[in-house]
Amino acid sequence: MALSQQEANHIFQRLRSGAVPERGLETFAVGVERPRGEIERLLRAAREDKAGDVKFLRGGYGCGKTFMSNLAILDAKRANFVTSFVVVSDNDLHFHKFDELYRKVVSGLSTAACPQGALGDIVDRWIGSLEESLIKNFGVSEDDPAFDQKVLLKLDEQLAALTGGRAPADMVRVIRELFLQKQAGNLPNAAGLLSWLSGSQNVASNIKKLAGIKGDIGSDVAMDYLRGVLEICKSAGYAGLMIVIDEAETILRMKGDVRGKSLNGIRQIVDASGSFPGLLWLFTGTPLFFDDRRGVKGLEPLHDRIKFQKFGEVASLKQPQLELKTFDRERLIGVALRLRSLHPDAPPELMEQRMPKDFVERLVDKVNEGFHGNVGVVPRQFLRNLVNVMDILIENPEQDVWMLLGFEANNLSAEEQSIIEGQPLPLPEDDTQFEGAGVAM
């Protein structure tokens, strides 16, 4: 795939800061063909069979879970899905509070045409398709004085039919009023109603009064609202919706009672996933999250549904947990050689001449030495060093690349610091308040 100058600049700028790029990932994706293929299979099922499903990406620190989930987002958008990427926080996202989850998901909706805050665009596309249907299929003229009322009637009918009558009444009222406010040119009012539909709890009472509503979207109805948003996405012409929940292991840092309720919330999502046709959930988590008694294993109903089975080194890709392999030396070298050919400020043949393959191999070994041979956790630090070397070579044409063969770790995460010091990875604080089997739904 050809890479634009803008995308190349984005990739290298993100790698310099130790972050995962949001675009162009497929150009240096090495060794992820099998898990990527499995996620593409699930997207096809969601698009063609209208299936709803949940998948869990399982992998240790540094194996590329965030990279893989970002790549899945890009693949989903190419397949015409709406996407949302949510990072778990122990401060403002608890999975048993579905209103918090709904707000995070809906405020983060993204499409290929609208990368941020896409709900408004999606609703506009949906209503536009209703208008077009009235004109094309029913011979209704836009000049008809009753045109807006006929659109509203069609809106009511379609939303009720698509959600099996489960669309909350307040949701219907808000969308109706949003349409009328836009038609009247009252865009601030429409924006306020859209903000309420996105889960905001800071919408003025006078805006709510326009649609005849009083409160906010509560946890008890949030998943019904999500169902409505999903159906609107599909009616607007999209194939479905993919929601990525990254760093689920953050749940392990929550207090015992909250942790147990959050895990039970995930169990409820798993159980309900089949009733959301076209919605694919993708969670990422460490083995500790899945295998520790304070995590999934401590909640037997959830563990039974998504447990991971492996026979020696072989595991099926189609089971609920999809294992991501740890980086090895050859994979790191492969990624480095891909990136060597992508630098936005130098042609590939020049970089190949200035930075030969044997230097890349020695650099991998050097960084690996700094992490006591634990090559699986070094990708972030290695790529920062690699990009820094390439930048120096481009900025200094006479520089001897072999003089740059060194490694200095910067801005270490807690996990990387532990490995540098030869210590085991840090674990969440022990909290025995949660006894998973006793958590009620």
pLDDT in tens, 300-311: 999 999 999 999
Q: Which among 122, 429, 83, 369 has a CA at the least distance from the CA of 241?
A: 83
The residues spanned by each domain of the chain are 32-111+238-323, 119-223, 329-420
In the block, tokens 């406010």 appear at 181
Instruction: Return the half-sphere exposure (C-beta side, CA atoms, 13 A cut-off) of residue 163.
Output: 24
- Report pLDDT digits (tens) over 314-328: 999 999 999 998 888
3 state SS of 91: coil
**What is 32-111+238-323's CATH number, 3.90.1200, 3.40.50, 3.30.750, 3.90.1520?**
3.40.50
Q: Is the pLDDT at 432 greater than 70, yes or no?
A: no
Q: Residues near 191 by Cβ (< 8 Å), separated by ≥ 6?
A: 120
Query: Is the full-model pTM beyond 0.85?
Result: yes
Distance CA 228, CA 244 (A): 19
3 state SS of 206: helix
The total number of residues written for the chain in this structure:
441
Say which range, 263-267, 346-350, 422-426, has the weakest mean pLDDT: 422-426
Q: Which among 439, 17, 71, 5 has a CA at the least distance from the CA of 260?
A: 439
pLDDT band for 425, please (50, 70, 90 cuts). Answer: low
In the block, tokens 């990406």 appear at 57
Distance CA 103, CA 93 (A): 9
Q: Residues near 40 by Cβ (< 8 Å), separated by ≥ 6?
A: 75, 79
At position 40, the amino acid (one-letter code) is E
What local confidence, expressed as pLDDT, does residue 435 receive? Answer: 46
Q: How far is CA 423 from CA 17, 85, 227, 372, 409, in A?
A: 25, 32, 46, 10, 16
Distance CA 199, CA 104 (A): 8
What local confidence, expressed as pLDDT, does residue 415 receive? Answer: 60
Average pLDDT estimate for 396-409: 85
Distance CA 419, CA 374 (A): 8
371 against 278, higher pLDDT: 278
In this structure, the strands spanning 321-323 and 81-87 are: unpaired
Residue 359, classified by CB atoms within 10 Å of its CB into exposed (0-12), middle (13-18) or buried (19+), is middle
